[in-house]
Amino acid sequence: MKLELNGVVLNCETAGETGPAVLLVHGLGGSIRQWHAAAAILSPCCRVVTPDLRGHGESGKPASGYSIRGFADDLAALCGALGIGRCVAVGASFAGPVVLQLAADRPDLVAGVVSVGGFAAMGPAGRERMEQRAAAVEAGGMAAVADAVVASALGPSTHAANPSLAGLAKGVILANDPRAYAACARVVASADVTSALGRVRCPALLVFGTEEKVAPLPVQMELRRGLPQASIRAIPRAGHLAFMEQPDLFAAALMEFIASLPNC
């Protein structure tokens, strides 16, 4: 379905009618398509909502107006439009800081927050990589970065055992609008939710793949130090997109976390 919220059309899918509401949010250059396997596992016992963030997928792609807080505000507006008063917010990669910002700003809405391969702020090397990626797609389109993005996003086990998943990931990247992607890449480069972490009062789960290259264990440990109630969960044989690479293991970890929440 498509909804006009905060001045932009947001595309989303819903699945499941009973149980806690779970918001599954993709990362930079991603889309709803990346969550299909995990959503299918979760939907028999959860109300699953998967949006395309502004600038991505089938959502609107304005020329400006991209920010971490802006993405978080879009998610809050989406929940309001769908009648969701309480949810578990799950964010992959750069949507990790987005859902952490949402949890800090809207404690009434977020019962639990899950960051998958997320971070509070990128280091100098990561910021430079994002700026270079933005410039590359502006000059040469999405094909200029697609192979490199997929190579770093998926773990070696996935590349060896599931090449079709690598093909899906590449297709999602190639479908992006270069202008919107570049704008969002620069948001990732400048993102810093460190000051918001202390305001995240709900339980948090930090998920990462054991073959993670983008935000490995040291990044997750640093993120945990800033969160009052956080635990870390490793997903074996997975890289940066653990929810795609090992959807059954990811869903099991998520359901265990949801079951532990006192107000969900």
What is the per-residue pLDDT across 186-218, written as a single tens digit (0 to 9) for each? 999 999 999 999 999 999 999 999 999 999 999
Does residue 171 lie within any of the structural domains? Answer: no
Q: What is the CATH number of the domain that holds 29?
A: 3.40.50.1820
- Total tally of structural domains belonging to the chain: 1
Q: How far is CA 22 from CA 25, 30, 59, 111, 155, in A?
A: 10, 18, 20, 10, 26
Residue 173: inside a domain, yes or no?
no
**Is 12 within a domain?**
yes
The secondary structure element, H or E, covering residue 161 is helix 156-161
Q: Tell me whether residue 98 is in a domain.
A: yes
Q: Do 224 and 189 form a contact (C-beta atoms < 8 A)?
A: no
pLDDT at position 17 over 90? no
The domain containing residue 98 runs over which residues? 2-121+191-260
Looking at the DSSP assignment, which residues form a beta bridge with residue 88?
22, 112
This model's pTM is above 0.85: yes
How many other C-beta atoms are found inside a 10 Å radius of the C-beta of residue 247? 20
Whether 117 is covered by a domain: the verdict is yes
pLDDT in tens, 69-121: 999 999 999 999 999 999 999 999 999 999 999 999 999 999 999 999 999 99
CB 75 within 8 A of CB 102: yes
Instruction: Evaluate the CA torsion angle 247, 27, 132, 210 in order and state its sign.
Output: negative
Give domain status of residue 216, yes or no: yes
Residue 243: inside a domain: yes
The tokens describing 98, both together, are 């987005």
Q: Could you report the per-residue pLDDT of 35-61, keeping only the tens digit for each?
A: 999 999 999 999 999 999 999 999 999
Q: How confident is the model at residue 264 (pLDDT cuts 50, 70, 90)?
A: low
Do the domain assignments include residue 131?
A: no
